[in-house]
Amino acid sequence: MSEGPAPMPVDETPTCDPVLDRLFNVEGDLQVQAQRIAAVQGSISNIEKLLGKLYEAQGLEKPASISSVGGSVSRVRPAALPDFNGSCDKGQAFLNGCLFYFYAVSQQFPDKQARINWALTYFKSGRAATYANRILRTLPRCRFAGAVTVRG
């Protein structure tokens, strides 16, 4: 006598579309992985706390090699953005790309001005290039800018 399939959780309702079924399965797998990662990070945090107490009790300095899990540097290399020409229909897509890039590698941009300067490097044609040139002309000049001459 077979017992039949195990009951599915409410949020994993089967559909007639195999693509949606796969999507539900992948989302479920991602949730399980996220829970496992959270558990591992919690364990590591507890171990770090215990090690910190041990070093403190022995009067030792915490080694530099022990660092918090949350403080690791991202090794994510997001794709570079396409050049922006200033067209209105591509403006929102360019802005979204910038925001995703800033989110992925936020530690590489110490402030808003660094983000703006980075985004301006993609303003290479059309109205965007005109705007970038105008902005660059208003920036403070290097004190040696007038000293350089090109000889032909």
Number of domains in the chain: 2
41 and 77 share a domain? no
CA-wise closest residue to 126 among 101, 89, 99: 89
CA-wise closest residue to 126 among 94, 100, 78, 102: 94
pTM of the model: 0.44
79 and 18 share a domain? no
85 and 128 share a domain? yes
48 and 82 share a domain? no
Tens place of pLDDT per residue across the chain (152 aa): 445 444 445 455 556 788 888 888 888 888 888 899 989 988 988 898 888 888 888 887 776 655 554 555 556 678 888 888 888 888 888 999 999 888 888 888 888 988 988 999 999 999 999 998 998 888 776 555 555 555 55
Residues 6+ apart with CB under 8 A from 136: 120
